[in-house]
Structure 1
Amino acid sequence: MIKRAAIKMIDSIQRRGYPAGHYIVDRAYLPYADSELSKILFGGGYTPVFDYKREDLGKKGATLASGQSGSDKNLDPASGALAHCIIVGGSLYLSFMPAELVDAEVTYQGTIKELERAPITKSDLKKAKSEARALRDQRLREREPYRLRRRGARRPDGSQQYSFPPPEGYGIGFDASTGEIIEPPKQKTVIVPFEVEAKWLQKYPHKSPEWAAYYGLRNTVEGVNNMLKGEKSTDIGNARKRAPRGNTFSALAVGLSIVALNLQKILAFYREQLAKKPLGTANLLLASTYYSEDELRMMRSRTPRERWPDSDPPLRT
């Protein structure tokens, strides 16, 4: 891995004037990397989306981005500004959220591990996993009345204001150990220091449908990486195919390989859109497999213009 590669990439994107969007990374970058990356992302208006190690799926304290526990009372979850808060799955929740909701993902992971060791059939295993996942997802939804929401823009010092949820949503809070009723927080908002938010928090609750939709985009990136490295494609992982040495030549070889792969994917896309029949090795290179220019013109003439405003054929779904 090139040192500070992610920071250099963000700097390059910003210098070119591209708008900030979602920044989706694996655990090598967030939340376990140096806090400098978090500061750049938050400062640039990016929305990080990341995963957690198994041991960090449950309740977390207000750990600093530097990796040390906060000594300031405002960073201490047991007192100060965060006295009523816990961090679970990248979000702030009220501290009296029921334990089965706090441990929803931990319980699910443990259940899956036990099921995979159990002497049951594949069909029963599949059914049991599906039921465990459904229960996990239900508990994640039941967390919502206890979740604090971001409010307004980030402050110049990097801190972020959060709104406490209204009591009407969660009802009465109880202390799990004593059974005593817990008074809801009297304040309506809380300011979360950057050092706390940058370590664990993200916009979308971990494993929620919104989080999964964005994090799943990494599969596309990983798929392209595998194609670049694969023997049937550009095979950049094979050093024997680029005899000259040095970073400059390697960068040039990788860049040209990416261009070649992009051209291959564009060609594959148009082949799929213009094919009259399912594609296979036997007909992939035959002109008769695809619509001709005359056939496309005829298709256009038969299609009402209000449904087909441009000159391109409709994409298949």
Structure 2
Amino acid sequence: MRDYTSANLSTPNSVAIVEVDRLVKASAIRQLIVGWRAEDVKSAAGAKPFVDETAALALILLQLRLERPTLISDMAKTFHRLSPRQRAVIGLRHDGEDTRVYGRIGDAVKRLIALVDEFPGRRDKILSRDEFRAMIAGRDPADCRKRRERMFLLGNTLVEGTWKMLPREVRERWEGNIAQDATLVPLQGQRGNPAGHNLNERRRSINSDGGYYQRAGSHGAMTHSDAREANKASPGAKNKGTSIGKSTWGVEAELARLVPNLHDDPDLFPLITLGVSYHIPGAITGEGVRMLNSFVDRGHRPNHYIVDRAYPGGKFQEFHLPARLLGVKLVFDYKDKALGVQLHHTSGFVQVSGAWYLDNLPDVHRDADKVVLVARNKFDAEINRIEKTNPTDAERAEGKGKAGKELAPAEELYEKQLAQRAKYMLTYKGHIQPDGSRRYIIPTDAPGYPKWKAQKGSHQSQSIVMTLPTAKEIEDDVNAGGLKNEQYFAYGTAPWKHAYGLRNGVESANRNVKRAQFEDIATPDKRGVRGNTFTYIVVAMSIVAENLRQMVSFFKRKLALKTIHSKNNYIPSLFWQSDNSVPAPEPEPRPPW
């Protein structure tokens, strides 16, 4: 680490070149790209390009590691700053024709985009109505799907490469816990465009394949004109429009990040992003399972999978069931209206906030989540009211303290109610079966159990197997069978709060890649190439850069001889290395370092 920090101070280009080279080799991304190119081209004849697709990808990552924009002009400047040896390391050829460098890099980027572009078409102008119609008509759906899968594979192959760069001993500490979340990536042309299905209007900006983003709901937004067109196409639909000024034109990136083991030191391994995907805002259907399958295909075993309320909001066949069949332990939140009693089972059980209980559970315990929610909403409203008055720090602290005192009795009562409710709860046993059935143990020591068992229809055994609902039952009730709302930890309990709180890690990653001093994916002007696909590529490489930064920070924490912070973490003498006479830092009590 001492050598690394010294080199990074004196020759940052060289350090970044080594990192890029190691990533390309660890991920084997060159082989993947060469295979796609061989599949697409009709003949391998012709002159070899001076800058191939893999070199273009490496140059994009180099820009991000050096905290420079990914404009073609800026990449050309970096090309000229590199020594012949540095260029050779990452596959950049040069014949001395300096004036041709910009064009060669631009052509390489275009070829890279073409390999993975699910949105082929013109990007040289704002399209008229007829031009847009012609572009859409010219797209081959099967080919677009193939290239969409390639883009997904490209991103996840790259982030997997950062994982492979870690020592095996560090990788083996991770128990498989993951948090997934989506984040907005703005596109150029903030006026946006009519939706892709709206073929009756001309486009308003060059990036015609994005979508409008809003914070509420699933994040997808429609303009008023798009809503009218959608309602005409589907009589009975009730789509509502949003003004352009209240939404943002862009795409969404899905990030799946490692989170700490639940019962260990939270700093056993670097918390890097291990899964990435991309879509139009709001189009999240299938994204959760798609990411899970990618983890499994790469040899990982996802354990606790932590998501917000958007992911389990769909059909259980599209997320809950496939995830459970993979052995995943889901942890998620509910919309307010989904709390409380969710389903009654004919064998004497009731589902409350995702868990199953004997149906003699008192009403006060059934409604506990809703009651405390009212108190929490009142607390939030009071905090918002205080903030609107532009308070001083003292006034803010006083107001928050007073509101907190009013909330405290409700929280204390809720904790007691959860403890009582747990006595009636069925406990999950084993794993979900291939047919979707799952076994629960009945709490025979629950209050009133003998009387409950004596009721007509109550289940008599000490365990029960719950099966999937029939197609007819699903038509009548989206939560038929209860699988849609089931999760691993009982909602609101301390284990649930601890696990769900780890989701903050993925939100932290979202913020990091948007920061101006780092990758700054929130600023589309730093990505000059138009279209969704180049944005997707830059997002993937930004995640790689963020992972590398997290890995370096992790090892700095472990090898620091003194307390480090932002003011001194670049000073070489503060870190231990094996060829130095200074003894290594004391190992962590668990596990040994």
| Shared fold (TM-score, shorter chain, > 0.5) | yes
Residue 505 of structure 2 aligns to a residue in which SS?
helix
Residue 46 of structure 1 corresponds to which residue in structure 2? 328
Q: Does 1:15 align with 2:297?
A: yes
Residue 32 of structure 1 corresponds to which residue in structure 2? 314
Structure 2 counterpart of 1:123, from 401, 422, 447: 401
Residue 228 of structure 2 corresponds to which residue in structure 1? none
Counterparts of residues 1-317 of structure 1 (less than 5 Å): 1=252, 2=279, 3=283, 4-33=286-315, 35-61=317-343, 77=345, 82-114=346-378, 121-166=399-444, 168-171=445-448, 185-195=459-469, 196-273=481-558, 274=560, 276-277=562-563, 279-281=565-567, 283-288=568-573, 290-291=574-575, 293=577, 297-300=581-584
- What do residues 12-47 of structure 1 show as CA deviations (whole Å, max 9, x unaligned)? 222222123122111111143562222211221111
* Contiguous gaps of at least 5 residues in structure 2: 1-251, 253-278, 387-397, 470-480
Q: 1:42 to 1:172 in 2, by over 3 A?
A: closer
Report the more deviating stretch, 207-216 or 264-273: 264-273
Q: 1:287 to 1:122 in 2, by over 3 A?
A: same
The alpha carbon displacement at 1:84 in A equals: 0.9
* Contiguous gaps of at least 5 residues in structure 1: 63-76, 176-180
The alpha carbon displacement at 1:53 in A equals: 0.7
Are 2:427 and 2:440, in contact at CA under 8 Å, matched by a contact in 1?
yes
Q: 1:260 to 1:159 in 2, by over 3 A?
A: same
The alpha carbon displacement at 1:146 in A equals: 0.3
Are 2:292 and 2:302, in contact at CA under 8 Å, matched by a contact in 1?
no
Q: 1:173 to 1:140 in 2, by over 3 A?
A: farther
- What do residues 168-195 of structure 1 show as CA deviations (whole Å, max 9, x unaligned)? 33146889xxxxx968753333222234
Q: 1:125 to 1:275 in 2, by over 3 A?
A: farther
The normalised TM-score by structure 1 is 0.76
The alpha carbon displacement at 1:129 in A equals: 2.0
For 1:244, the aligned partner's letter is V
Report the more deviating stretch, 189-198 or 155-164: 189-198
The alpha carbon displacement at 1:94 in A equals: 0.9
The normalised TM-score by structure 2 is 0.43
Q: 1:248 to 1:19 in 2, by over 3 A?
A: same
Residue 484 of structure 2 aligns to a residue in which SS?
helix
Distance (Å, rounded) in 2 between the aligned partners of 1:308 and 1:28: 36
Distance (Å, rounded) in 1 between the aligned partners of 2:302 and 2:417: 32
For 1:170, the aligned partner's letter is P
Q: 1:277 to 1:217 in 2, by over 3 A?
A: closer
Larger RCO: 1 or 2 (CA < 8 Å, sep 6+): 2
Residue 268 of structure 1 aligns to a residue in which SS?
helix
Matched residues, number: 282
Distance (Å, rounded) in 2 between the aligned partners of 1:60 and 1:34: 14
